[in-house]
Amino acid sequence: MIDNVSEKLIVTGGTTLRGESFVSGSKNASLPIIAATLLANGRHKLSNVPLLSDVNGFATLLTTLGLSVSHAKNRVLTVTNNHDGTPTQCHAPYDIVSRMRASILVLGPLLASRGTAKVSLPGGCTIGARPVDLHLKALQLMGATISINHGYIEGSVDGKLHGANIDFDKVTVTGTANILMAATLATGTTTIRNAAMEPEIVDLCHALLNMGASISGIGSNTLVITGVESLSSAEYSIMPDRIEAGTLLCAVTATGGDVIVHNCPISTLNTVIHKLQAMGAEIYADNSHIGSVHVIAKKRLQAVDVDTNPYPGMPTDMQAQLMTLLAISDGTSIVTENIFENRFMHVPELNRMGAHIHANETTAFITGVETLYGAPVKATDLRASASLLIAGLCAQGTTEIHDIYHLDRGYEKFEDKLIALGAKITRQS
């Protein structure tokens, strides 16, 4: 959980990143796959699980739900689930859920495996209200009785969940994950239309197949799940983190660097790679699913426009990092955030470093400047903290990034990776 609230990063700008790096396991694939261990008894072995505070938080949550979890330094996370399926220990408490919204991912698995769940309604966060109405409506269509009492989602099932036709009004990643997991043990067939196609959902599908689930349409926006009587424990390796990979490519590009990044999920990073190439970065990647990417940035970047969209569009989780690059690019650009209603919290902080950005709720207008200047800044959310770190790397002078615990939620030892490439960063409490 978050225990480094007072820490800050001190970044000395002006160094060029050079050398070789690597991508760790995906946070947003790990969390639903860890939740899926609720669906089957036995000993689950998940490898390449990143050492992150959000993963620690999820391990704590599963422990309160009666499972035992250990996360080794070699990134193997072992979950032992011997729960007898009775409606005990089905409470995901406020103090955990309020700090990690992804806790909502236990709702579907609990209803499917135990027939009952009490999960704190995840509040909003800095990037938006983050409602879960689509999750709840879909679970009700599958036979769950859902009520909201005193800030808690209380769900129960008379017998087992049953298959249903789910048409999501909006693409929801964790909503798709919740219904996908619930449907694996429901009686009959569930069809999810307008399903999220994010690679993390594909990874979850593969993990569920490994457990014995029956799923078709994987990778498309229509998933068909035929419920089975029971599932077996998982033995699965988590995909590399495409957002960490994209963030690394942005950091190298911002500093005019020359780096080879290994273990990159290339096939799911094309939108980001093409955008960086359009800005003038030289990026060489073979056409493998996972491989090495060589990024070289010699000349000043050219401004381009960015629109975030569900996969395979530009990931909203890359918006803040790309905005830092646009802030120092030659020309003007427009960034349109189509997913979340308040995901420009990094804008005032970048402006304090000398950027020229003005934004309304959905659109930011950027006029590139020659350079940014180091300043004390405040991280407001996970990806904003990454954008400020990239800004500090390419700014003149020193930048202090406060509330750096946001970064540790989703990036494993990120400053160590950057220091290994020549960055000058220290962490102070």
Q: Which residues bind ligand EPZ (CB under 6 A)?
A: 28, 31, 102, 128, 130-135, 170, 172-175, 316-317, 339-340, 382-383, 410
* Whole-number Å distance between alpha carbons of 7 and 429: 4
Q: Is the Cβ of residue 122 or residue 354 nearer to ligand EPZ in the bound state? A: 122
Whether the Cβ atoms of residue 206 and residue 319 lie closer than 8 Å to each other: no
Q: Outline where 289-422 has alpha helix (H).
A: 319-327, 346-352, 382-394, 405-410, 414-419
Whole-number minimum distance, CB 266 to ligand EPZ, in Å? 19
Q: Is the Cβ of residue 59 or residue 339 nearer to ligand EPZ in the bound state? A: 339
Task: Report helix, strand or coil for 215.
Answer: strand
Q: Is the Cβ of residue 314 or residue 326 nearer to ligand EPZ in the bound state? A: 314
Strand partners, 307: 336
Clarify whether 125 is annotated catalytic.
Answer: yes
Whole-number minimum distance, CB 31 to ligand EPZ, in Å? 5
* Short-list 55, 95, 103, 96, CA closest to 79: 55
Q: Outline where 236-311 has alpha helix (H).
A: 242-254, 270-279
* Short-list 212, 233, 222, CA closest to 34: 233
* Whole-number Å distance between alpha carbons of 306 and 364: 10
- Helix and strand numbers (H, E) in the chain are 14, 24
Whole-number minimum distance, CB 424 to ligand EPZ, in Å? 26
Whole-number minimum distance, CB 193 to ligand EPZ, in Å? 15
Catalytic residue among 90, 125, 205, 250: 125
Q: Is the Cβ of residue 340 or residue 405 nearer to ligand EPZ in the bound state? A: 340
Q: Is the Cβ of residue 130 or residue 300 nearer to ligand EPZ in the bound state? A: 130
Whole-number minimum distance, CB 340 to ligand EPZ, in Å? 5
Whether the Cβ atoms of residue 176 and residue 166 lie closer than 8 Å to each other: no
* One-character DSSP codes across 294-317: EEE--SPPBP--EEB-STTSB-GG
Give the active site residues: 125
